[in-house]
Amino acid sequence: MDNIIEINDVSVTYQKDSSVIHAISHLTLNIKRGSFVAILGRNGSGKSTLAKLLNASLLPDSGEIFVDGINTTNEERAFDIRSKVGMVFQNPDNQMVATIIEDDLAFGPENLGIPREEIRKRVDWALKTVGMYEHRMRATQKLSGGQKQRVAIAAVLAMSPEVLILDEATAMLDPRGRSEVMDTARKLNKEKNITVVLITHYMDEAVDVDEIVVLDSGCIATKGSPLEVFEQIDIIKNTGLEFPTATETSLKLRGLGYDIPVVLTDESLVEALCQLK
């Protein structure tokens, strides 16, 4: 698999009053095309800054970022990068531009000057993909939080993206809305080969991803498969993270002297318990 995103020794600072905030410090990271990556880290660790770097809405102070081989500083390709890397944010109410769902989806492609016929096709396809086609004539404000976020994802899809970034896109949703959005993201990754970058505070959303990257003070504290990452108990605690629910239980049982492995899911927890003598 090749890299859809390459981040080479990137730093970003913000000026706040008289002090300098090092939001991202000498970060190097590749994201494989078609992978599902979770970015974890406490508030202020640099996750949203990293997300903005990936679609060129923010440029690095130093270092380079390539999206599908295009340097994000290349102004002539800024439009390409914006359509290749779509973002969905936390607040479902801040992302709608039109009152009717299908108009909302047509807005982005219209701005790109895409022909009407093609827009129609893309909008219908995007709405079907997120399971909102039958609602296409409804008012955006009448939807549930989960439905709004699925429409926001559809709006990104209508731009034919390579990468979908969800920046805490499930944070304001109820459990049902969260699973609607997560199921949609997994489906796009599996069926459409869209690379997903999931920024989340819910550790349970990260148990089945391809790779986890843990940020701390703008640096990578650790990365690897979910099991590799959550087995590093001290790093998880020191970076202010929690454990997935099943992992937490397995750690408690280990603390009580039960001989079971660190697990990520309920299924493997049950399996481990059944193996106990």
Interface residues with Mg ion (CB under 5 A) are: 47-48
Number of residues this chain uses to bind ligand ADP (CB under 6 A): 12
Looking at beta carbons only, is 40 or 126 nearer to ligand ADP? 40
CA–CA gap between residue 171 and residue 57 (Å, rounded): 22
**Residue 48 or 250 with smaller CB distance to Mg ion:** 48
DSSP assignment of the chain equals --EEEEEEEEEEEEEETTEEEEEEEEEEEEEETT-EEEEE--TTSSHHHHHHHHTTSS--SEEEEEETTEETT-GGGHHHHHHHEEEE-S-GGGS--SSBHHHHHHHHHHHTT--HHHHHHHHHHHHHHTT-GGGTTSBGGGS-HHHHHHHHHHHHHTT--SEEEEESTTTTS-HHHHHHHHHHHHHHHHHH--EEEEE-S-GGGGTT-SEEEEEETTEEEEEESHHHHHT-HHHHHHTT----HHHHHHHHHHHTT------SSHHHHHHHHHH--
Contacts of 267 (CB under 8 A, 6+ apart): none
| CB-based closest residue to Mg ion | 48
By the rule CB under 6 A, 55 interacts with ligand ADP: no
Instruction: Return the residues of window 224-263 that contact ligand ADP according to CB under 6 A.
Output: none
CB of 77 to ligand ADP, least distance (A): 24
Interface positions, 10-49, toward ligand ADP (CB under 6 A): 14, 16, 21, 23, 41, 43-49
Smallest gap from residue 113 Cβ to ligand ADP (A): 31
- Cβ distance to ligand ADP smaller for residue 146 or 218: 218
- Give whichever of 23 and 127 is closer to ligand ADP, judged by the CB atom: 23
- Kindly tell me which of 140 and 149 has the beta carbon lying closer to Mg ion: 149
Residue 115-144 contact track with ligand ADP, rule CB under 6 A, x = bound: ------------------------------
Q: Smallest distance, Å, CB 49 to ligand ADP?
A: 3
58: closest CA among 81, 40, 80, 37?
81
Per-residue x/- mask for ligand ADP, residues 174 to 203, rule CB under 6 A?
Answer: ------------------------------
Q: Which is nearer to ligand ADP, 46 or 177 (CB)?
A: 46
Q: How far is the CB of 229 from ligand ADP (least distance, A)?
A: 17
**Which residues of the shown chain bind ligand ADP in the complex (CB under 6 A)?**
14, 16, 21, 23, 41, 43-49
